[in-house]
Structure 1
Amino acid sequence: MDTTQICKAEFGSAAHDVDNSWDDELQKLEQTLPKEEGWISGMSLYLYQGFWCSGASVRDLKPVISFQKHFKAIDSDVIIVTIPKCGTTWLKALAFSTLYRDRFASDQNPLLTFTPHQLVRFLQYDVYLQNPCPRLEKNCVYKPRAFATHVPYASLPTSIKDSHCKIVYLCRNPMDMFISFWLFADKFRDENQEALSLDEAFDKFYHGIYAYGPFFYHVLGY
């Protein structure tokens, strides 16, 4: 039985059973999860398992939960982990260049054609975004497999923590990360929306209320 069949068995044999299962679970979460106004227009923050997830609704937790439930790590996997705005793109490029340094001629490296995010895909934002049970081999054509996530250590799938796969973690000076995150969020502000002031943003950051925060819980977990 392949991964897709296993997932279907867990959620029900028919598509509507899968949807109903998700609806029930997410409705229960929506009634219990603390909620705060997000940094980006139209986005809220939901406190899930001790960290804040950003989304238009609680349904945006679905790919995180799918990743937690169904990802099966193998010992050769490399998992790139950061908190947002801590050098994720840079680390993905370095990791890809290092892992596959003997695979390509210098003028044929995929990084010349594709972005680091296309080559080292996010598990919660990309791989599990549309499909709760994706075929992982289609999402990572190179071996060893390399994926990325922002999820805190405590909320990683058990298969990652129980395997011998490598976790590569990068953090950043929180003062620099805060300013970078504030400027990044402002790029998505609606024209008619008032900008989040630096004081308001700092108050949220101080209390850990931003995507995948609090900062120090995330760092200490890894």
Structure 2
Amino acid sequence: MKVLIIYCHPSDNSFTARVKDEFIKGLVAVGHQYTLVDLYQENFNETFSEQEYTREAFYNDEMSISEDVKAYHKLINEADILTFIYPVFWTEAPAKLVGWFQRVWTYGFAYGNHAAMKQLDKALFLVTMGGDLNELVRQEQLEAMKTVMLEDRINERAKEKEMIVFDRMSRDYPNREANFERFLKMAYQIGNNL
């Protein structure tokens, strides 16, 4: 099984980084291959250029695509599972990841009559947040997040799609340390059970 991980967090010293590390350990333990794309480490340019906008707005697949985007297309088509690991900032993914979708989900690759993107076996979102998941559910924000990621960005591009949220990681939660251990074991198991 080939797993492509798109990781997006500005700090190497974060709970999100630890989730990524444990998920990878779980993958390796069962012999899965993985490729890690760290959008901050790569200094990914999330800015949607005017040329990219024009290409998408006019569905012009004859206009060129930048080399970095082509490289992501290749990685996606080599993978069986696409995993996104990131924190929630104000009920949204970090700007780099939002920009990644804007730049990489191109006409002729992710959509259009002759889209070249293969259908993946699974798309998995491992999402960390400081707040309480129950509060997101109560305010219907979790469903909004799932709609954006699972139904819009992934849609039929994967046979299965799932979002798992690791919550209550803010420094003001009294059981934060207990959550650390529980969630890190969970991240390992998720990788181990793919």
Normalized against structure 2, the TM-score is what?
Answer: 0.29
> More helix per residue: 1 or 2?
1
Structure with larger Rg: 1
